[in-house]
A = this chain, B = another copy of it.
């Protein structure tokens, strides 16, 4: 094994350290968050920090970087109270990655990159038409994380749109068949292959595989 202490990690070059720390935490979901400003300007940005908070009520969080580094998504969510989260697939991966470029506020990443905004009733924020798994949220709470000026943004699930044939009979979504991708570090994207599903674990009982 190789061992590294924080005292040596702190001395590393900035991008080397960012690659290292960002990949240490493992594979992450990768989503495009769609928002709209009060004046109707749409925005789309890639996030790999979406986290499940609870199923009842259905609450989903994401981490927003410090305001200076990532201002537009958070400002739109604060002003309209709504946003969409859209899965990314290989067919538009390069465009999704490109949303991380620092476009000025008056540029819509939808228009600039050629992704299609899609509006469903009851939600002001734009979905990504090309995405097969997507959902709309209303803002529940923004919790400032003071130690590094980031934010935990908590949303309440409002609606879901799914391509046909992703939802199984037990409520599970076959995301590998939907070709949703995951990420690692700041720039690497992956497809996935199911190993197994296991039944609910109980002490002293070997869990059966649910996969046929």
Residues of A within 8 A of B (CB): 1-6, 9-10, 12, 14-31, 48-61, 63, 85, 87, 90, 93-94, 97-104, 107, 112, 120, 122, 133, 135, 140-141, 143, 145, 147-148, 150, 152, 154, 156-164, 167-168, 170-173, 175-176, 180-182, 184-185, 187-207, 210
Contacts and interface: CB of A to CB of B under 8 A. Distances in A.
A194 B187 contact: no
Identical chains bound together, number: 2
Given A58-B9, A170-B15, A171-B18, A164 B23 contact: no
A203 B102 contact: yes
Contact of A159 (B6, B51, B143): B6
B6 A147 contact: no
A25 B194 CA distance: 17
A159 B97 contact: no
A4 B184 contact: no
Contact of A120 (B3, B29, B191): B3
Contacts of A195: 90, 93, 181, 189-191
Contact of A147 (B97, B140, B196): B140
A203 B113 CA distance: 10
A97 B201 contact: yes
Contacts of A161: 1-4
A190 B27 CA distance: 10
5 contacts: A20-B173, A26-B30, A26-B180, A48-B52, A141-B147
